[in-house]
C-alpha cells in the first residue's frame, strides 16, 4: 500500500513537472497571425463602417449586381495589403471619408449604380482598407497568414451584409417609399453625414 502511494506521488510529481501551459485560445499559437488578420478589421471603426456601407449598397442593387463583390472585395483587400507593404504607412482618413460620402449619397438617393461602377467602388474601398490594415503590421507577423485571415473575413463580411440587406429590403417587391427602402436610404444619409464630418475633421487637423 505504501509502495503504491509512493508510485502515485512520483507519477503526480512527474506529470506536474512535465505540464505546460494550456492555451484555450490559439491566437498565441502558430496560426495566431491568421486570427489577427480576421480580427484586425473588425476592431477598426473605419473598416466596420466602410465594409458595411459597401455591402449594403451592393445588397440594395440586388444579387445579380452584388455577387461580383464576393470575388472583387477580397481581391481588393489582398491588393491593398500588398500596396501597404510596398509603400508603407499612410493616412487613409480622407480617402475613407470620401468613400463614405460617395457610398452614403448613392444609398440615400437610391441610385441604380451600374455593375462596373459598383465593382470599381468596392475594389477602391477594399484597396484603401487593405493598405490601412497592412500598414501597421509588426515585422514578426506572418504576412501570408494575416492576408489569408483578412481575405476570409472580407469575403464573409461582404457576403453576409449583402445577403442581409437583400433579404431586408426585398428589392424586387418593395416600392421606393416603403419603410424598408426609406430605412436603407436614411442609413445612407447617415453614412454620408459621417463621411462629411470625418472629412472636415481630417482637413481641420
Summarize as ranges the residues that interact with another protein (CB under 8 A). Answer: 45-46, 49, 93, 96, 104, 108, 177, 182, 185-186, 188-190, 192-205
Q: Which is nearer to another protein, 160 or 201 (CB)?
A: 201
- Could you give the CA distance from residue 186 to residue 190 in angstroms, rounded to a whole number? 6
Of residues 143 and 185, the one with the C-beta less far from another protein: 185
Separation of alpha carbons 121 and 99, rounded Å: 8
- For another protein, give the closer residue by CB, 120 or 196: 196
Phi-psi region of 44 (alpha: psi -120 to 50; beta: other; left: phi over 0): beta
- Closest to another protein by CB, 29 or 182: 182
Residue 124 CB, nearest approach to another protein (Å): 18
Q: How far is the CB of 133 from another protein (least distance, A)?
A: 15
Q: To 10 degrees, what angle do helices 45-60 and 69-87 make?
A: 150
Rounded to a whole number of angstroms, the minimum distance from the CB of residue 180 to another protein is 12
| Gyration radius of the chain over CA positions | 23
Tell the smallest beta-carbon distance from residue 181 to another protein (Å).
9
Q: Which is nearer to another protein, 93 or 141 (CB)?
A: 93
CA dihedral 187, 191, 196, 199 (to 10 degrees): 170
- Compute the least distance from the CB of residue 46 to another protein, in Å: 6
Which three cell numbers mark 41? Answer: 478589421
Q: Which residues contact 39 (CB under 8 A, 6 or more apart)?
A: 149
Amino acid at each position: 500500500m505504501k509502495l503504491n502511494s509512493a508510485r502515485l506521488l512520483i507519477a503526480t510529481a512527474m506529470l506536474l513537472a512535465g505540464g505546460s501551459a494550456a492555451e484555450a485560445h490559439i491566437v498565441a499559437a502558430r496560426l495566431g497571425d491568421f486570427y489577427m488578420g480576421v480580427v484586425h478589421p473588425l476592431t477598426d471603426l473605419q473598416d466596420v463602417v466602410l465594409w458595411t456601407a459597401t455591402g449594403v449598397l451592393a445588397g440594395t442593387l440586388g444579387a445579380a449586381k452584388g455577387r461580383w463583390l464576393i470575388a472583387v472585395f477580397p481581391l481588393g483587400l489582398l491588393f491593398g495589403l500588398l500596396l501597404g507593404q510596398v509603400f508603407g504607412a499612410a493616412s487613409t482618413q480622407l480617402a475613407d471619408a470620401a468613400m463614405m460620402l460617395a457610398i452614403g449619397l448613392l444609398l440615400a438617393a437610391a441610385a441604380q449604380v451600374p455593375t462596373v461602377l459598383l465593382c470599381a467602388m468596392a475594389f477602391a474601398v477594399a484597396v484603401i482598407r487593405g493598405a490601412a490594415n497592412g500598414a501597421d503590421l509588426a515585422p514578426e507577423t506572418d504576412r501570408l497568414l494575416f492576408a489569408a485571415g483578412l481575405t476570409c473575413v472580407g469575403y464573409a463580411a461582404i457576403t453576409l451584409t449583402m445577403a442581409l440587406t437583400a433579404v431586408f429590403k426585398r428589392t424586387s417587391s418593395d416600392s421606393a417609399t416603403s419603410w424598408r427602402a426609406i430605412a436603407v436610404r436614411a442609413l445612407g444619409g447617415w453614412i454620408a453625414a459621417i463621411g462629411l464630418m470625418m472629412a472636415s475633421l481630417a482637413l481641420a487637423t
